[in-house]
Amino acid sequence: MEVVLFKSEEKKSTQEVAAILRQIADKVEGGEVVLTRGNEEVRLQIPPNVTLELKVEEETKRTTKKSLEIEIEWPEGDEGRPRGDVSIG
């Protein structure tokens, strides 16, 4: 069963998105990410090894829409093991 603990979807400039991704990267590296919006807060303890999923999708209806999804996941209480390397160019 999936429970959504926090969700946000906002229009941002690419500069704003890049700044947010940099902040997230720093927090992931530090081992804790805290997301807040209004009275909502979710605090995540990030283990040293996680699974990184990168996915690009294309959806065509009246117009073509592309998306880049970045997902970081880990089982609770599991340190995980590093797997494979991805490069971004």
Please choose, from the candidates 57, 60, 81, 89, the residue with its C-alpha nearest in 3D space to the C-alpha of residue 70: 57
> In percent, how much of the chain has pLDDT > 90?
82
Give the H/E segment covering residue 68.
strand 64-73
The model's pTM is: 0.79
What residue type is assigned to position 37 of the chain?
R
What are the tens digits of pLDDT across the range 11-42?
A: 999 999 999 999 999 999 999 999 999 999 99
pLDDT bucket at 77, cuts 50 / 70 / 90: confident
